[in-house]
Structure 1
Amino acid sequence: MPSSVSISLVILVWITTIIIINHVGSANTSTVAKPQSPPLAQEAKALNQTQWWWWRNEENPNHCKWDGIVCNDGGSVIEINLDYTFWYGNPYSRNFIFNFSSFPNLVRFKLAGMGLYGSIPPEIGSVSKLTYLNLSGNSLSGELPLSLTKLTQLEKLDISFNHMSGPIPLQLGNLSSLVELYLGGNHFSGTIPSTLGLLTCLTHLDLHSNQIDGTIPSEIYNLKNLTALHLGTNNLLSPISSKIGKLKNLVSLDLSYNTFTGPLLRNLSCLKNLTHLFLCSNKINSPIPLEIGEMRELRHLDLHDSSLSGSIPSTLGLLTYLTHLDLQLNQINGTIPSTLGLLTCLTYLDLHSNQINGTVPSEIYNLKNLMVLHLGTNSLFGPISSKIGKLKNLVFLDLSNNMFTGPLLYELSRLTRLQYLNLSSNKLSGRISTNLENLVHLSVLDLSLNKLSGPLPTQLTNLHALEQLLLSHNNLTGSIPRVAYPFKLTTIDLSHNLLSGEIPPQLGNLYFLQYLDLSHNNFTGNIPPNLVYRYEMDLSYNSLIGPLPEGCDFAFRPETIMGNKDLCCVQNISGFPYCPGSPHITIGSTTNWIKIIPPIVISFIFLLLGIVLLSRQKIIENTHSECKAKRNGDIFSIWNYDGNIAFEDIITATEDFDIKYCIGTGDFGIARPLNPNSSNLTTLAGTYGYIAPELAYTMVVNEKCDVYSFSVVVLETIMGRHPGELISSLASSSTQHILLKDVLDPRLSPHINQTIAQSVVLVVTLALAGLCSNPKSRPTMKQVSQEFFVQRSQLPKPFAEISMQQLMNQEIYVIEK
């Protein structure tokens, strides 16, 4: 019995072992990665070639798990979906190189907003299963490849906002499955192909912002499923066909910025489902028809600048869903219909620059959702209603260039969300309300060209968001408050009033101030010194006295300070007498800047000519002089400041060099004794500090030698001393610590404005470019002269922080060579 049990156990163990081995073997077989089939390997290779996922490749070699890639059960790519959020912060190749032929199962392909450039490869036609293609928001160029029209299963094609050009292919009509077609924001030209009328499934057709001309083909009106038709910003013309009424499913229609003419709106009134209608900037030349009231679903109606005439139809009040109404820049006349007060959803109402007259109907003040109300440049009159305070959501209010009368109402101070308030060019009277300080978000306040009187309210300085304060051409009296002003102010215009007292120095503390006009008032006292560094300023026709502040010779044009008979000057300014006891020339004044910079271009050329001729003559004479005898044949190798040999030739050292091994005071740097028996000697005794280094061994004067000498003279004039030490340090790293302001002539005023600072930076940059050790890298004299006529941008950093190293590297201004 025990033996039989033992045998049974042996057999059981043997069978179990066999089963386990077989199971493990099969498991190992299933878990070992099979080599990819050739098509799948081809897909992986094509994805790697794009270099779009190079950082993912190291993390996970399985491309099906990469971001934006979807594979089917067989491991083949069926979708690539990437946009700017995927690329943000990741370096990638912007060249659009993609082998579409390696992806036979691709159904969706999206690369939007990547900034990719290049053309659409013709192989795209091989992806026959593609239903979705989105390449919008890139920089792709060239024409649409005809192979694209082979994608008969395509339902959405979006190539908007690229740089595509050429005509729209007729063959796009073959894409019978197409539902959405977006080609806007490109440079397509020619006409709209009539074959697009074959795309009967189309719901969205967007060709806006191209260069398409001609008329809309009648076949387009067969697209009865169309819900959005955007053809704006092209060169389309002629009247629109009445057949447009067949597009009864249209929700959005944009025909703006073309040259359509005729009774456009009457043909559109049967589009009952329309919610957005853009017809601006056309030449309709007709009134707004009463039938517009039948388009009851309209939310957005933009008819501005379309040569509309006649009056505003009262039927507009039937469009109760309307949120945006823009009729500006037309020839509309008559009055504002009170029925507009029924548009309670309205947030934007712009009727400016028309010929509308009468008063503003009180019903307008029922539009409590209104955020923008622009009625400027019409012929409206009467007082501003106190009901305006009901429009508490207003952000923008412009009633300028009308004939409104009466006082500035307290109710305006209730519009606490207001950011822009323009009541200029009316007949408003009375005082400026102190309650305007409640408008804490106000950035622009324009009350100019009215009949306002009284003092400037100190409370206006509490408007901390204010950027523009325009109160000119009124009858304001009193003085300017001597308090802190809103820091963001860029423009202050108080001209043509009756203001008096002294100009407060607090105005000079406004860092962002660019324009200050206090002219035609009765201001007295001195001009605050901290005002003279503003970009543009007018203090003319006041009663200012005393000396003009130092530096004002560039801050003011003579006409901006004339009419102040008791002003005097320390510097010479045309039309102004010298102050008693002042010298006629002040070395430290900014006048010297104006005197120095312009003559550099002219006077240095004449100086240069004399220097070069004298230098060349001296070189020739010294070749046969007694120096050669004194040196007894000693010859030297010249080394540049960076430690490299300057020239292959060997020359005689300057007379002030030490016999053995020293640094001289000339142009060349270090001189080392050489073998006197060397051949091909060129001798030069004596350097003058203005000669180009290569002149020593070529003995040939050319224009690049002229540029070098010119540059030395320029620096000498700007520095007030010879720039020998500066030139010797240019090749060292120490220049990064040398500031331009520390190199300038100390007699010059340190206070210079932006214009002169730009000129100084340009002149020194040109000089340093001309001192380049390689003659080929120096600009020519013609190029130097042309640089003075190039429009320059403002300095990217304060003048006092600019280093000589930055000018050498041309980090501020780039000089053409």
Structure 2
Amino acid sequence: MRLLLIALAIILAHAAQDPEVAGSEEVAALLGVKELLVDEFGHTNDWSASDSSPCSWTGIQCDDDGFVSALNLGGKSLNGSLSGLPLARLRHLVNISLEQNNLAGPLPPELSLLPRLRFLNISHNNFGYGFPANLSAIATLEVLDTYNNNFSGPLPPELGALQSIRHLHLGGSYFSGAIPPELGNLTTLRYLALSGNSLTGRIPPELGNLGELEELYLGYYNEFEGGIPREIGKLANLVRIDLGFCGLTGRIPAEIGNLSRLDSIFLQINNLSGPIPAEIGLLSALKSLDLSNNLLSGPIPDELAMLESIALVNLFRNRLSGSIPSFFGDLPNLEVLQLWANNLTGSIPPQLGQASLSLMTVDLSSNSLSGSIPDKICWGGALQVLILYGNQIGGALPESLGQCNTLVRVRLGHNQLTGGLPKNTLGLPNLRMLELLDNRMDGIIADAPVSAVELELLDLSQNRLRGSIPRAIGNLTNLKNLLLGDNRISGRIPASIGMLQQLSVLDASGNAISGEIPRSIGSCVRLSSVDLSRNQLVGAIPGELAQLKALDALNVSRNGLSGEIPRELEEAKALTSADFSYNRLFGPIPSQGQFGFFNESSFAGNLGLCGAPTARNCSVLASPRRKPRSARDRAVFGWLFGSMFLAALLVGCITVVLFPGGGKGSSCGRSRRRPWKLTAFQKLDFSAADILDCLSEDNVIGRGGSGTVYKAMMRSGELVAVKRLASCPVNSGKRSSGSRSSHDDFGFSAEVQTLGKIRHMNIVKLLGFCSNHETNLLVYEYMPNGSLGEVLHGVGTKACPVLDWETRYKVAVQAANGLCYLHHDCSPLIVHRDVKSNNILLDSNLRAHVADFGLAKLFQGSDKSESMSSVAGSYGYIAPEYAYTLKVNEKSDIYSFGVVLLELVTGRRPIEPGYGDEIDIVKWVRKMIQTKDGVLAILDPRMGSTDLLPLHEVMLVLRVALLCSSDQPAERPAMRDVVQMLYDVKPKVVGAKDHSSSRELSGSTRMSSGRLIDV
């Protein structure tokens, strides 16, 4: 009997080795796989039970004996779980590739029963739960890649038993706890990545035992204690080390100089301190060195001169001092040099650019550099980015810059440059940004050549430039921001300006420009801001300005303009700020549209204007065109005018004497005569006097209908934002009973009542306020990246970051959290009433903060509405029922937030001429998604190629946006539900955690990334 059993076992064993018998078993196993993994696109349709062998099926490979050796179903959009799959029956499997699918659930421990498995790739899925420790039993496993999943819990120490492992990537999950020191036993390991988790503890010195290791990635959202272990210096074969953004402290160990094969060191965004080790100069193979965003101090060591292979040097945002060593001009392979935001002094090495013919990026901004710009900085003909702003660099711009055809971005503002623009600067074929504001340039703006068709921002403001605006300005067909303010420019505005179809911001204020405003300006269909104030313009205000459907701000004050204010401007529904003051205008002031919201200061200094908001009655005031003045009348009028001028001059002199540091703007009543009081909502290290000293035109960073915003630096170095409200409060005197009477303190009471009592990480912080009973100043935390609207739409004078999809998603979640707090966690609840992208501010880390509560209302119950005396808010964001019924509740905010979400997805403004009959972005999106191109046609191309975007995420956010912007309030979700729906877009990234691979953030990508605010 025993002999019979042995014989039977031998027969079964041979049967298992028989390809025909094994083939039928493998067919059955694979059909079980097909049944449990949902394939919506039919990739596995050729898997059929009628086949005796699966070797020709999609994704299947067989070995020479006909057994299934590889299961490759990566990128097939499969759904389901591996639990219950009969994979263990495919005992000849060598390769399992399931990357880039939607698989979820736990990783089955049965995988350890595959005795020949060498390659397991399940990256970019949704696998979760703890990691099975018994995978360490697969003695043949060489590659294990689980990047970008949802695994949690500790890393199993048993992984240290993987005898053959060469490549181990466990990044991009939620692993916690310490790195097991047992990983130091993996003597065959060449690649180790644990980045993008939630690991803590110390980096184990046992990792120094990985003698074969070539690449090490431990950064990004891990939070290690202590510093870099000295044992890292034992990794003789290490080629790349990336420990960026993981909380490291202490010094960079000198032992790093032992790693002679290193070509990349990434230690950015930590708290490393002390000097840069001179031993780094021993790394002769080093190509990329990124030590940015740390606390490193001292000089840049001269030993770095030995890095002849170096291509990228990022040392920005540290505390480095001394001069820029001259050897940077001798490095033959240097491509990127970024030393900005340090304490560097001296001059730029004069030979910079001569030795390296590949120099592409130079950013030395925000230091204390002097001297001049090197003449041959573009000697190699590869320079694309030159950023030197915020220094003390003088002299003229090198003429060679006018021949540097590769230039894309030039930022040289806030220096002491002189002279004019080098010849052909405005003809450079690839130039997109030219920023030269706040220098001492006194040359003439040449008329030709002007042909930089890629130029988007031209900022020559705050200089002494002469001459006229080039007649060929219309050739800059892609120009979005034209900033020429505060120069000595004369002549006329050329009619060719009407050819600038992409122009969004036009600022030519504070010059000597004469002639009329050209009617062709009405052809600049995207214009949102026009400032022609403080010039010598004459003639009538062209009615063609009403054709600018996106026009938000118009300032033509302090000119010699005459005639009536065109009634066509009543149709400019997007107009929220207008200033016609101090001209020679006459006739009735338009009363319809947005004109009902402008106060008297917008029309001051025009004695011929009548009607609200002035006190002059149009039926009494004679029009200059109807009744010529007699000689006697003219004499009397001249005497009166002269007396008024002398009186105003006397008041102005007294004001300057009493308040020498109070800025350049006018104030209400006797505001400067009364003592100022600072009311603080937290401990502050500055006084009211410190704030008043900063209220100058040089510090203005924004103007709106409610007031002017200043950037103010306190004596301690702290930056704050100060909003000076545009009007006096109610108690300063009687006011006409106009439409703004309900809030004629310009939001002061609402802002203080709201922000003074609430605290939330996504709501801008009100630090305090200053008042002298007649003028009010609100003091906020400063947001260096401005508003979301500025970033998305390129408004303003500064360069704006390009927001990728991940950042836009985070901004959406953060802003939603702020509004949710107002609606659901405040008692009584708060309705913002002016939710828009310009009222969502971005801090230095691009985190979103809801701001500007000047129109906010407090409600006693969420089920109530309140009737307003007039519509308040911003055109394009106002909910339909609010505009029709004047009734407002929290659903009005939700509609506005839906518009903001549409801006994030499309990159477009709420109102654009291109929407045609659809009028606004909500109706336009609803129409476009029904077309042939569908959603793809509306996506902002700046987010990247649609092939690389997570389109399912974008579509889910778009769905939330359309729900929020429903016409019927009852169909809009509550803000609490909006937040949950946004979190559900990325269920594995609650709190908007970023799982960026350290590989993807390194190398060439990092070399071109630079600084967010300069992208």
Whether the 8 Å CA contact 1:505–1:531 is kept in 2: the answer is: no
User: Does 2:284 align with 1:284?
Assistant: no
Q: Counterpart in 2 of 1:485?
A: 499
| Equivalent residue in structure 1 for 2:611, among 574, 578, 584 | 578
| Equivalent residue in structure 2 for 1:807, among 938, 945, 967 | 967
Whether the 8 Å CA contact 1:40–1:75 is kept in 2: the answer is: no
Q: Give deviations 1:428-456, integer Å, cap 9, x for gaps.
A: 22331122422222122111111112221
Q: Give deviations 1:622-674, integer Å, cap 9, x for gaps.
A: xxxxxxxxxxxxxxxxxxxxxxxxxxxxxxxxxxxxxxxxxxxxxxxxxxxxx
**Cα displacement (A) at 1:786:** 3.8
**Cα displacement (A) at 1:459:** 0.5
Whether the 8 Å CA contact 1:83–1:114 is kept in 2: the answer is: no
- Give, in whole Å, the separation in 2 of the partners of 1:68 and 1:190: 42
Q: Give deviations 1:275-323, integer Å, cap 9, x for gaps.
A: 1111111222111121111122212111112211111222233421222
- Give, in whole Å, the separation in 2 of the partners of 1:816 and 1:326: 43
Q: Counterpart in 1 of 2:785?
A: none
**Cα displacement (A) at 1:760:** 3.3
Match runs of 1:338-377 below 5 Å: 338-340=350-352, 341-377=354-390
Match runs of 1:358-397 below 5 Å: 358-397=371-410
Closer/same/farther in 2, CA of residues 391 and 595 from structure 1, 3 Å limit:
closer
Q: Counterpart in 1 of 2:899?
A: 794
Q: Counterpart in 2 of 1:622?
A: none
| Equivalent residue in structure 1 for 2:142, among 127, 131, 153 | 131
**Cα displacement (A) at 1:358:** 1.4
Letter in 1 for 2:275: P
Q: Counterpart in 2 of 1:239?
A: 251
| Equivalent residue in structure 2 for 1:439, among 452, 474, 481 | 452
Q: Counterpart in 2 of 1:215?
A: 227
**Cα displacement (A) at 1:593:** 13
Letter in 1 for 2:140: K
Match runs of 1:295-444 below 5 Å: 295-340=307-352, 341-413=354-426, 415-444=428-457
- Give, in whole Å, the separation in 1 of the partners of 2:580 and 2:66: 80
**Cα displacement (A) at 1:131:** 0.9
Q: Counterpart in 2 of 1:95?
A: 104
Whether the 8 Å CA contact 1:302–1:325 is kept in 2: the answer is: yes
Q: More relative contact order in 1 or in 2 (CA 8 Å, sep 6+)?
A: 2
Q: Give deviations 1:725-755, integer Å, cap 9, x for gaps.
A: xxxxxxxxxxxxxxxxxxxxxxx9xxx9982
- Give, in whole Å, the separation in 1 of the partners of 2:104 and 2:132: 12
Q: Give deviations 1:9-45, integer Å, cap 9, x for gaps.
A: xxxxxxxxxxxxxxxxxxxxx9996475768855653
Q: Counterpart in 1 of 2:32?
A: 45
Q: Give deviations 1:35-92, integer Å, cap 9, x for gaps.
A: 757688556535643435883443223665454444445665544445448779x996
Q: Say which is worse superposed, 234-243 or 135-144, in terms of deviation.
A: 135-144
Closer/same/farther in 2, CA of residues 48 and 228 from structure 1, 3 Å limit:
farther
Letter in 2 for 1:243: E
- Give, in whole Å, the separation in 2 of the partners of 1:497 and 1:34: 91
Q: Give deviations 1:508-564, integer Å, cap 9, x for gaps.
A: 443333332222223342353334751333333334442364537975557744444
**Cα displacement (A) at 1:231:** 0.6
Closer/same/farther in 2, CA of residues 441 and 421 from structure 1, 3 Å limit:
same
**Cα displacement (A) at 1:203:** 0.8
- Give, in whole Å, the separation in 2 of the partners of 1:160 and 1:427: 51
Whether the 8 Å CA contact 2:862–2:889 is kept in 1: the answer is: no
Q: Counterpart in 1 of 2:236?
A: 224
Q: Counterpart in 1 of 2:952?
A: none
- Give, in whole Å, the separation in 1 of the partners of 2:221 and 2:19: 56
Q: Secondary structure at the match of 2:206?
A: helix
Q: Counterpart in 2 of 1:60?
A: 47
- Give, in whole Å, the separation in 1 of the partners of 2:737 and 2:966: 25
Closer/same/farther in 2, CA of residues 808 and 157 from structure 1, 3 Å limit:
same
Whether the 8 Å CA contact 1:185–1:210 is kept in 2: the answer is: yes
Q: Secondary structure at the match of 1:541?
A: coil
Whether the 8 Å CA contact 1:335–1:357 is kept in 2: the answer is: yes
Whether the 8 Å CA contact 2:133–2:156 is kept in 1: the answer is: yes
Q: Counterpart in 2 of 1:660?
A: none
Q: Counterpart in 2 of 1:252?
A: 264
- Give, in whole Å, the separation in 1 of the partners of 2:873 and 2:295: 46
| Equivalent residue in structure 1 for 2:471, among 429, 449, 458 | 458
Given the two structures, how large is their TM-score scaled by the length of structure 1? 0.67
**Cα displacement (A) at 1:193:** 2.0
Root-mean-square deviation (Å): 4.2
**Unaligned stretches of 5+ in structure 1?**
1-29, 585-590, 599-705, 719-747, 768-780
Number of equivalences: 624
Letter in 2 for 1:393: T
Letter in 1 for 2:170: I
**Cα displacement (A) at 1:173:** 2.4
Letter in 2 for 1:755: S
- Give, in whole Å, the separation in 1 of the partners of 2:411 and 2:976: 49
- Give, in whole Å, the separation in 2 of the partners of 1:761 and 1:522: 42
| Equivalent residue in structure 1 for 2:216, among 205, 217, 221 | 205
Letter in 2 for 1:251: D
- Give, in whole Å, the separation in 2 of the partners of 1:445 and 1:268: 41
Q: Give deviations 1:311-352, integer Å, cap 9, x for gaps.
A: 122223342122221122211111222332322332222222
**Cα displacement (A) at 1:196:** 1.7
Q: Counterpart in 2 of 1:471?
A: 484
Q: Counterpart in 1 of 2:527?
A: 513
Whether the 8 Å CA contact 2:342–2:366 is kept in 1: the answer is: yes
Whether the 8 Å CA contact 1:765–1:807 is kept in 2: the answer is: no
**Cα displacement (A) at 1:215:** 1.0
Letter in 1 for 2:347: T
Instruction: Determine what percentage of the aligned residue pairs are the same residue.
Output: 27
**Unaligned stretches of 5+ in structure 2?**
1-16, 80-98, 604-609, 621-735, 744-860, 903-909, 911-917, 927-962, 978-1015
Q: Secondary structure at the match of 2:286?
A: coil
Closer/same/farther in 2, CA of residues 384 and 807 from structure 1, 3 Å limit:
closer
**Cα displacement (A) at 1:242:** 1.8
Q: Counterpart in 1 of 2:517?
A: 503
